Structure 1
Amino acid sequence: MAGGESGRSFEYTPTWVVALVCFVIVFISVFAERALHKLGRCFKHKNQDALFEALQKLKEELMLLGFISLLLTVFQGLISNICIPNHLANIMLPCKMETLQHLTANNGRRLLAEVVSDKCSEGHVPFLSLEALHQLHIFIFVLAVVYVVFCASTMVLGGLKIREWRHWERSIRNEASRHHRVHAPHLHLQEFMGRTGRYWRKFRVVSWMAAFFKQFYGSVTRSDYTALRLGFIREHCPSNPDYDFYKYLMRTLEQDFKKIIGISWYLWMFVVIFLLMNIAGWHAYFWMSFLPLILLLIVGAKLEHIITQLAKDAAERSGDVEGIPVRLSDELFWFHRPTLVLYLIHFILFQNSFEIAFFFWIWTTYGFKSCIMEGLNFIIPRLVIGVIVQVLCSYSTLPLYALVTQMGSMFKQTVFDEFTHDLILTWAKDRKFASSEANESMSKLTTEPTNPVCLSQQPVSEIELSCPNKS
């Protein structure tokens, strides 16, 4: 019979079917693993250690998703055997019960309570059916695929935007080589100070409105880049005016990318909350799709407003202090913490990828006519918002963050190039090893004579920590 044939166990399944399915699964898995391995070797060959570490972080997140799926598989029998009363199973449903009964009658399927009536007593239904567990497996797979694609697009779009600043860096360095170093950096400072606008632009509300619209067009101009670059070098690298600020931004973006692709515990808590709020009639996923867009616009406006405040401060001090266009400070950031912006960007990108993954999961599992999918008037705005958030955040807000957060009081470890950074780590290890040897020598002072003259004649190695010359 059809029902019996569809319910065959492993004992009565043809071996060629089992072997074929295993072969396809293993082939796809090995191909994906080797592709990631090749990509990692490419990063190592190009000395892009930050991207290599980001790839390792991505593998960890994929392994976590695979482990979650494995736990669902192992405990699916135990979960499906748990029974709960009917009245508990009929509250907080994604679709109304009338819709479910109507679809059941049209498709000729049995209700869930009838399918598993032999497992649960009358008036009870399974806590989570095997069919629901299978669909949850599919959701985890779709989430992993969408997450990987969104992470890759984030890095590609962000890198493309910052690479547009490369010719600015080269032009500034060429001007500095042709002119006197005192005058060359100030060619664009007047234009940067003019960012504050006229008298009416100095009102807080008007200034915030101008910053809000600025993030959509010309968010960073050459004058902005020149002034912020000069302020950073004057603060952190005063002995090296030729420091390659562009390469520093690229290294910083790669370091921040490692934090963005991770799925922290609080993001998983948000996933649980989002799944909990998917109740029929609430249109929760439609309204929640506006959350990343609103946060993104606020973050972008804040970063633009910080640049305006820096320009305003430079304009006010231009008459008193000559040659210091930007004064770096953490006071302009929320709670005096520039890293807080990165956490918000992380949440925005993850929330957006989760929204798109949930949409594709419903589409592939139930189709467009599903009650969870709702109507086109809800679907189209969600997709449009998802695309806008991904492109705007990756191409505009993330590069803007990489530039503006360098105006904080503290510099990041990426201020050093790869060679200098490795040299510092080697020096620190040598100092630690030398310290341990010194402790052993001190323990022998009471038993062994020591010649202070010999000790004072030992050579001392010193490393001057300064910004590398990138000429």
Structure 2
Amino acid sequence: MSGGGEGESLEYTPTWIVAVVCSVIVAISLAAERLLHYLGQVLNNKNQKPLYEALQKIKEELMLLGFISLLLTVSQNTISKFCVPASLVDNLLPCKRPHEEATNSSSSTSHHISGGSFRRLLEETASAHLGYCAHKKKVPLLSVEALHHLHIFIFVLAIVHVTFCVLTVVFGGAKIRQWKRWEDSIAKENYDTEQVLKSKSKRKVTSVHQHTFIKEHFLGFGKDSALLGWLHSFVKQFYASVTKSDYATMRLGFIMTHCRGNPKFNFHKYMIRALEDDFKKVVGISWYLWVFVVIFLLLNVNGWHTYFWIAFIPFFLLLAVGTKLEHVITQLAHEVAEKHVAIEGDLVVQPSDEHFWFRRPQIVLFLIHFILFQNSFEIAFFFWILVQYSFNSCIMGHIRYIVPRLVIGVFIQVLCSYSTLPLYAIVTQMGTSYKKAIFEERMQVGIVNWAQKVKKKKGLKAAIVGSGAGSGPGSGSTPGQPSSDTGSTSVGIQLERLVHKASNPEQNDGSK
């Protein structure tokens, strides 16, 4: 088609233009691929497997975007040939249509279709396709230009979401790494010979209420104290989400519950590994999040100001999550204060899933994932409208709705990075179970491989015993006398169960 609404086709385009554009696109694509590959090598060399897996997740998202792009590009001509009555495209519009030409009140539907609104739609697609629908006295279901804009929006949404997740984990991780000095200080006090001798000489029975952790969180008994506890938890997330006494107490509670035989356990290092494991789950866009995208796009109707109201969803959710995590710490303090009057030595709290919503700490990670995605959606939609349609576009909305959305978006990003995510990293360790990050990377691989070999050996032995069952009692082991590898097999089963429990914390019943 020459001289049509879409311009010259490839048949009449100079070859040097095609070659230059193709070269630029290929060069940019290869540079991006090499950059991701190099980043993956760096993470592998630094033994950062969780972050490497998160990078793989990002690559999967980019591959999905590429498939979506290909699908939209290939099917755009087909989609633009879907013709519908004009009345169907006059409802649920993000913007009001421009003023149309005056028409006779007795005009037929065909006259309405030939009006200014339909002529504007005709100009958005190729003349052949428009002619296809015009002959049927209908309009295209979705124009080529609208498909192109939708394509760009999906791409911007994915990029902004990944970027925001990375920024959140980077800043939150920087906050958590500041706690390393607390870990080093505790290790020096507990394992340095001179310090240990001094602490043992000073070890005595003290009132529970003299401990700093109890002073900060225990607000008395009764209903009033419960209300004050929630208010204290709500406020504390803004100025001192985790103090040194919080860290030291929860660290000791975790070690005494899960690592009693290893008092030198590096809790801070374990917490970082666990956070990196969870990061690879947050960085992806799950199917249910795409469902939310469709719902939000559906509700973007002129006059509803939908994107202003839904901006408060992640805002209130974030405050609720932060308050709940702080309240878990308060509950730990109240449990000790209500059960003991005085204790000898250090104060020890008891981790339990009872403190979390529906006894599932994993719900907190799901909510953080949704909060980050929803906030990314808000910011991505703003920038997409700004670039695609300009700030004064009707779809952007009034300035009084835009400014609060941006302020809320920035507030969510900052609070989630510096308060909620660090709270999540430490407080979710106060559940009944522990995460598989408790094992070092090499130990995880070694235990899993060894357990699989033991299981395979046990299955082989069972097959041999079964096949030789008819050979008489002399062919098996002496009754009451266990075989030489029974002990190793039972140990292998126990280790396999341990690895399975670590890999599936939701099935962990807390037994050690």
The verdict on a shared fold, with TM-score over 0.5 as the criterion, is: yes
Secondary structure of the residue aligned to 1:216 is helix
Tell me if structure 2 keeps the 8 A contact 1:58–1:262. Answer: yes
Q: Does residue 111 of the first structure (1) align with residue 120 of the second (2)?
A: yes
Tell me if structure 2 keeps the 8 A contact 1:356–1:383. Answer: yes
Deviates more, 1:387-396 or 1:341-350: 387-396
1:275-331 superposed Cα distances (whole Å, 9 cap, x missing partner): 001000111111111111110011001101111111111222232665552111111
Q: Does residue 161 of the first structure (1) align with residue 175 of the second (2)?
A: yes
User: In the alignment, what sits opposite 2:389?
Assistant: 366
- The alpha-carbon distance between structure 1 residues 275 and 458, as it changes in their structure 2 partners (threshold 3 A), is closer
Tell me if structure 2 keeps the 8 A contact 1:175–1:184. Answer: no
In structure 2, give the amino acid aligned to 1:195.
Answer: E
Find the aligned partners of 1:6 and 1:199 in 2 and give their Cα distance: 74
Deviates more, 1:15-24 or 1:3-12: 3-12
Using the TM superposition, give the Cα deviation of residue 458 of structure 1 relative to its aligned residue in structure 2, in angstroms: 5.5
User: In the alignment, what sits opposite 1:276?
Assistant: 298
Q: Does residue 399 of the first structure (1) align with residue 422 of the second (2)?
A: yes
Tell me if structure 2 keeps the 8 A contact 1:329–1:407. Answer: yes
User: In the alignment, what sits opposite 2:232?
Assistant: 210
Q: Mark the structure with the bigger radius of gyration.
A: 2
- The alpha-carbon distance between structure 1 residues 432 and 234, as it changes in their structure 2 partners (threshold 3 A), is same
Q: Report how many residues are paired.
A: 460
Secondary structure of the residue aligned to 2:261 is coil
Unaligned runs of 5+ in 2: 102-117, 500-512
Using the TM superposition, give the Cα deviation of residue 351 of structure 1 relative to its aligned residue in structure 2, in angstroms: 0.8
Matched ranges for 1:80-91 at <5 A: 80-91=80-91
Larger relative CO (CA 8 A, sep 6+): 1 or 2? Answer: 1
1:166-201 superposed Cα distances (whole Å, 9 cap, x missing partner): 000000000112225767899998000112354499
Secondary structure of the residue aligned to 1:219 is coil
- The alpha-carbon distance between structure 1 residues 238 and 446, as it changes in their structure 2 partners (threshold 3 A), is closer
User: In the alignment, what sits opposite 1:191?
Assistant: 212
User: In the alignment, what sits opposite 1:104?
Assistant: none
Find the aligned partners of 1:190 and 1:146 in 2 and give their Cα distance: 45
User: In the alignment, what sits opposite 1:144?
Assistant: 158
Find the aligned partners of 2:205 and 2:183 in 1 and give their Cα distance: 14
1:142-178 superposed Cα distances (whole Å, 9 cap, x missing partner): 1232123112212211210110100000000001122
Secondary structure of the residue aligned to 2:84 is strand
Using the TM superposition, give the Cα deviation of residue 34 of structure 1 relative to its aligned residue in structure 2, in angstroms: 1.1
Tell me if structure 1 keeps the 8 A contact 2:166–2:283. Answer: no
Using the TM superposition, give the Cα deviation of residue 12 of structure 1 relative to its aligned residue in structure 2, in angstroms: 0.8
Using the TM superposition, give the Cα deviation of residue 84 of structure 1 relative to its aligned residue in structure 2, in angstroms: 1.0
Determine what percentage of the aligned residue pairs are the same residue: 53
- The alpha-carbon distance between structure 1 residues 345 and 242, as it changes in their structure 2 partners (threshold 3 A), is same
Tell me if structure 2 keeps the 8 A contact 1:79–1:127. Answer: yes
Find the aligned partners of 2:160 and 2:465 in 1 and give their Cα distance: 59
Q: Does residue 230 of the first structure (1) align with residue 252 of the second (2)?
A: yes
User: In the alignment, what sits opposite 1:52?
Assistant: 52
Secondary structure of the residue aligned to 2:139 is strand
Q: Does residue 135 of the first structure (1) align with residue 144 of the second (2)?
A: no
1:69-97 superposed Cα distances (whole Å, 9 cap, x missing partner): 22111111111001111111010000011
Tell me if structure 2 keeps the 8 A contact 1:69–1:140. Answer: no
User: In the alignment, what sits opposite 2:66?
Assistant: 66
User: In the alignment, what sits opposite 1:34?
Assistant: 34
Deviates more, 1:403-412 or 1:17-26: 17-26
Find the aligned partners of 2:204 and 2:90 in 1 and give their Cα distance: 69
Instruction: Please provide the CA RMSD for this pair.
Output: 2.9
- TM-score, normalising length from structure 1? 0.90
In structure 1, give the amino acid aligned to 2:175.
Answer: K
Using the TM superposition, give the Cα deviation of residue 429 of structure 1 relative to its aligned residue in structure 2, in angstroms: 1.7
Find the aligned partners of 1:239 and 1:420 in 2 and give their Cα distance: 17
Matched ranges for 1:309-458 at <5 A: 309-319=331-341, 322=344, 323-446=346-469, 450=475, 452=477, 456-457=483-484
In structure 2, give the amino acid aligned to 1:435.
Answer: K
User: In the alignment, what sits opposite 1:262?
Assistant: 284
Find the aligned partners of 2:302 and 2:132 in 1 and give their Cα distance: 28
Deviates more, 1:190-199 or 1:388-397: 190-199
Find the aligned partners of 2:100 and 2:359 in 1 and give their Cα distance: 52
Tell me if structure 2 keeps the 8 A contact 1:235–1:328. Answer: yes
Matched ranges for 1:237-256 at <5 A: 237-256=259-278
Using the TM superposition, give the Cα deviation of residue 394 of structure 1 relative to its aligned residue in structure 2, in angstroms: 2.2
In structure 1, give the amino acid aligned to 2:211.
Answer: Q
- The alpha-carbon distance between structure 1 residues 56 and 186, as it changes in their structure 2 partners (threshold 3 A), is farther
In structure 2, give the amino acid aligned to 1:125.
Answer: V
Tell me if structure 2 keeps the 8 A contact 1:253–1:399. Answer: no
Find the aligned partners of 2:468 and 2:267 in 1 and give their Cα distance: 50
Tell me if structure 2 keeps the 8 A contact 1:232–1:328. Answer: yes
Tell me if structure 1 keeps the 8 A contact 2:83–2:138. Answer: yes
Using the TM superposition, give the Cα deviation of residue 450 of structure 1 relative to its aligned residue in structure 2, in angstroms: 4.1
Deviates more, 1:366-375 or 1:182-191: 182-191
In structure 1, give the amino acid aligned to 2:131.
Answer: D
Deviates more, 1:362-371 or 1:173-182: 173-182
1:383-433 superposed Cα distances (whole Å, 9 cap, x missing partner): 221111112112211110111011111111111222321221121221232
Deviates more, 1:315-324 or 1:62-71: 315-324
